[in-house]
Amino acid sequence: MAIDLLMPKLGLTMTEGVLLEWKVRPGDAVARGQLLYVIETDKIATEVEAEADGVLEAQLVAEGETVPVGAVVGRLAGSDEASGAKPRPNAATEDKIQVSQPRAIPASPVSRRGDAQRIVATPLARRMARAHSLDLAAVTGSGPRGRIKAIDVERTLGEPRQAPEKAGAGNAIRAKPSATQAAMARRLAEVKQGVPHFYLSTEIEVSALIALRETLNADATAPRLTLNHFVLAAAGRALRDHPNINRVWSEGELLAFAESDVSMAVETERGLLVPVIRDAGRRALDAVAADARDLVERARSGRLSAADMTGGAIAVSNAGMHDVTWVTSIINPGQSAILGVGSVRSLFRPDAQGKPELRREMGVVLSADHRVHTGVEGLAFLSSLKAYLETPMRLLRQI
């Protein structure tokens, strides 16, 4: 009995994915739990395992090809159990397959060193190694648990990251983007062209926040709090106060979320990832900060799952560490708003008596989808955000 292998749906707004790599070839025997293929979306690369024993009968989609969700990418024969590719049942495919549980690539093996030791590498490192016909067994990884990173492959090769194709004139070079870069470029272009953005900005006085943070961080036994932890917690509270902001536009309909989830932009070796802090609006600051630290560590070590990247109507992009005053961001695919956070500045403002007063201010910009939000709703959200950050003691307790 031949069983269809499908492109999984990893999130409410995912419509297509890239089949990045086949791990088995036609005719290969496959055991339950064995890695079959790797797919990549605009957010994350994910491995798909077999749910049953069988033999790969056919590969119907070539590596690097983009196909819609639910498309048949291959067939498995010799088993009455299906192998699928999504983390939870979906109406479009539930009656056809028994699904497998995708997992993030960097946390799983990509090859073997001898019979006992597995080689763990990032997707970019594997692509670079394939491009140069380099055996990853010859590379010493510098990442956690010996994980091989792109810089390790570069060091072994002793040459730049990718041998680029020279352009026709001058010193310009031409290089093919990775599947992740291409997908992200396409999706962000679609968002910018297809989503009517509007922007609202304000300045927030954060002297009280900075003083509270210094007091809390004076406890050497407690985990360190950053300004971004306060922003994430405040965004969650403001989202809970204004549930109309907690919606997205999905296939011509408004989709409202029950929990006040907040995404956070994290720069990693393989690009920008946007994991989600669950129900940030109800939780105390220390719990939000703990989740944020965990997500950053797992994002940078390549251990995020597809579920970590799914959901949330709003994201926070903090560029304050780069001495940037205003950050005007493009809304992430599948969301309806993003909050750009700038650096803290010291400046004098007139007080109630007109005398100069030293203030610590931080500029924020809300980019919002006008199909979902009105200007009044956006202003109300920013007003709540500002109030929480200017009176930060309220963030310390759970709701």
> DSSP assignment of 224-262, as one string?
PP-HHHHHHHHHHHHHHH-GGGSEEEETTEEEE-SS--E
The rounded distance, in Å, linking the Cα atoms of 348 and 336 is 35
The confidence score (pLDDT) of residue 99 equals 40
118 touches 112 (CB < 8 A): yes
3-state secondary structure of 220: coil
Q: So what's the pLDDT on residue 153?
A: 83
Cα 301 to Cα 284: distance, rounded to the nearest angstrom: 26
Distance CA 300, CA 29 (A): 34
Contact 340, 317 (CB under 8 A): yes
Question: Which residues are catalytic, by number?
Answer: 370
Minimal CA–CA distance to 316: which of 349, 337, 291, 339?
339
| Residue 240: φ, ψ to 5° | -65, -35
**Residue 243 to residue 284: CA distance in whole angstroms:** 19
**What domains appear along the chain, each with residue ranges and CATH number?**
3-106 (2.40.50.100), 109-163 (4.10.320.10), 196-396 (3.30.559.10)
| CA dihedral sign, ordered 366, 278, 214, 226 | negative
Supply angle C-alpha 126, 270, 162, rounded to 5.
55
Report whether 334 contacts 248 (CB < 8 A): yes
pLDDT, residue 184, reads 72
The pLDDT, as a whole number, for residue 42 is: 62
Q: C-alpha 315: how far from its chain's center?
A: 10
> In whole angstroms, what separates CA 154 from the centre of its chain?
25
d(CA 117, CA 145): 12
Side-chain-side CA neighbours of 290 within 13 Å: the count stands at 6
What is the reported pLDDT for 289?
Answer: 98
Model pTM?
0.68
Instruction: Write the DSSP assignment of 4-25 as a string of letters.
Output: EEE----STT--EEEEEEESS-
Going residue by residue through the chain, which has 399 residues, state the pLDDT in tens, using 9 for 90 and above: 678 999 988 776 677 888 888 999 999 999 888 889 988 776 666 778 888 889 999 999 998 788 898 999 999 987 554 444 333 333 333 344 334 445 544 333 333 343 334 577 776 677 777 777 788 888 888 776 677 877 788 778 874 444 455 555 567 888 877 656 666 777 788 889 999 999 999 999 999 999 999 999 999 999 999 999 999 999 999 999 999 999 999 889 999 999 999 999 998 877 788 999 999 999 999 999 999 999 999 988 878 888 898 899 999 999 988 889 999 999 998 899 999 999 999 999 998 899 999 999 999 999 999 999 999 999 999 999 999 999 999 999 998
3-state secondary structure of 362: strand
CA-wise closest residue to 329 among 338, 320, 342: 338
Q: Give yes or no for a contact between 392 and 210, defined as CB atoms under 8 angstroms apart.
A: no
Runs of H (alpha helix) within the chain = 123-131, 150-157, 179-194, 207-217, 227-241, 285-300, 375-390
Which has the closest alpha carbon to 234: 69, 126, 357, 386?
A: 386
State which amino acid sits at residue 326. Answer: W
